[in-house]
Amino acid sequence: MTGLPGGTEIRNVGSSFLNSSALAVVCNGGMGYIREASVWRAFGPLPGQAGSLISLSSIAFDPRDDRTLFMGSVALDPDAHHLWKTQNGGLTWTAADGNSAASNGLPFGIPVHLVQVDRLDSRVVFAGTDFGLYRSVDAGATWSRYGEGLPWVAVRDLFEAEDGSFLRVATYGRGVWELPLAFSVQSLRVSPATVTLKAGQSQAFSASVTGSGELLSFSNWRSTGGRITSRGIFTGTLPGQFSVIATSLLDPSRSDAASVTVTAQPDLNVDGRVDVLDLAELAKSFGTHPGNAGYVYLSDQNGDGEIDDLDVGLWLGAFGN
């Protein structure tokens, strides 16, 4: 790959689920790099690394946050850390495998061949070790051995079905194993159920899922207006009545919706006063509509897609407040 230091040997590659140009690599010499905006940047130092024996093995992005990554090592050093996590794109790292004095469920000092974040629920992380497969359900804070019937053998690769129905585990010397992931989604509820916002304001929604099985949380979010993120954060743009809808990724028949009322925002410069400065902002976009360079959605007081005399009239009704 161009842009990396000369002599770099790449041992593994991770790619972002959110940004096709964002890549991360682990290399020889205990070095790792992340590519942002076509520029490679070295990772920050790893706590408790094994020096020349660090032997980085695996790198994985959080599917819902490309600033969060996990990195593993197969260093043959029982006193060193072998798994780390970053939440700022690799600038700083914290150990995710406990320590020799206080275990977090992942045996300390053993090689970690792979790390993978679940594509449906990023709180679920898998680590393939010399002692089998381990799983965390709290984003790497604690771990437990995973896979009934899976032998105590080195796990070298992992495949998760796109619908979350099974895992396939490749081992060193004991073949490939399949683990079914049964699930049953019983209900899904969005909260808060009703919200009133001014244009430009945001509201975080959450989806509570009940049921049984391995992977229940995380839903697909959409809205009938405004803007909404993959994490359920809605921003009102034009005034109107809208719905924010969450649908279970595991069972698309389960969904729920919240009602959002977006009202006009007469304080166009958001300085806490409706005054002539706001009128000046309105004048700048007068006569425009979506698609024009000068269109500003906050100035569209009635949300009809045209900034005209009707918007001026509505704005005058709030003048001085």
Instruction: Give bridge partners of residue 117 from the DSSP assignment.
Output: 125
Asked if the domains 184-263 and 276-318 are classified in one and the same CATH topology, the answer is no
pLDDT of residue 83: 96
Give the pair of three-digit tokens for residue 249. Answer: 């990724």
CA–CA dist 296, 206 (Å, integer): 29
**pTM exceeds 0.85, yes or no:** no
**How confident is the model over 150-164, as a mean pLDDT?**
88
**How confident is the model over 61-69, as a mean pLDDT?**
93
Q: pLDDT averaged over the chain?
A: 87
pLDDT of residue 145: 94
**CA neighbor of 265 nearest in space, from 257, 274, 256:** 274
**How confident is the model over 79-97, as a mean pLDDT?**
95
Phi, psi of 96 (to 5 degrees): -115, 15
Judged against a pLDDT cut of 70, whether residue 184 lies above it is answered with: no
**Confidence at 52, pLDDT banded by 50, 70, 90:** very low
Let me know: does 81 contact 46? Beta carbons within 8 Å: yes
**How confident is the model over 147-173, as a mean pLDDT?**
89
pLDDT of residue 220: 87
CA–CA dist 38, 52 (Å, integer): 29
Give the pair of three-digit tokens for residue 35. Answer: 């590519």
Judged against a pLDDT cut of 80, whether residue 254 lies above it is answered with: yes
pLDDT of residue 29: 84
Let me know: does 278 contact 265? Beta carbons within 8 Å: no
- Find the helix packing angle between 276-284 and 309-318, rounded to 10°: 170
**How confident is the model over 292-303, as a mean pLDDT?**
83
**CA neighbor of 157 nearest in space, from 180, 176, 144, 179:** 176
CA–CA dist 310, 133 (Å, integer): 64
**How confident is the model over 99-115, as a mean pLDDT?**
94
CA–CA dist 139, 125 (Å, integer): 6
**CA neighbor of 24 nearest in space, from 210, 213, 16:** 16
pLDDT of residue 164: 72
Q: Does domain 10-181 have CATH number 1.10.3720.10?
A: no
**Confidence at 317, pLDDT banded by 50, 70, 90:** confident
pLDDT of residue 86: 97
pLDDT of residue 170: 96
**How confident is the model over 189-218, as a mean pLDDT?**
81
**How confident is the model over 16-30, as a mean pLDDT?**
89
Instruction: Please give the CATH number for the structural domain made up of 184-263.
Output: 2.60.40.10
Let me know: does 307 contact 285? Beta carbons within 8 Å: yes
Judged against a pLDDT cut of 50, whether residue 34 lies above it is answered with: yes
pLDDT of residue 270: 79
Phi, psi of 4 (to 5 degrees): -85, 155
**Confidence at 314, pLDDT banded by 50, 70, 90:** confident
Chain center to CA of 221: 13
**How confident is the model over 183-190, as a mean pLDDT?**
77
**Confidence at 264, pLDDT banded by 50, 70, 90:** confident
Domain boundaries, the chain: 10-181, 184-263, 276-318
Let me know: does 166 contact 181? Beta carbons within 8 Å: yes
**How confident is the model over 125-149, as a mean pLDDT?**
94
**CATH architecture label of 276-318:** Orthogonal Bundle (1.10)
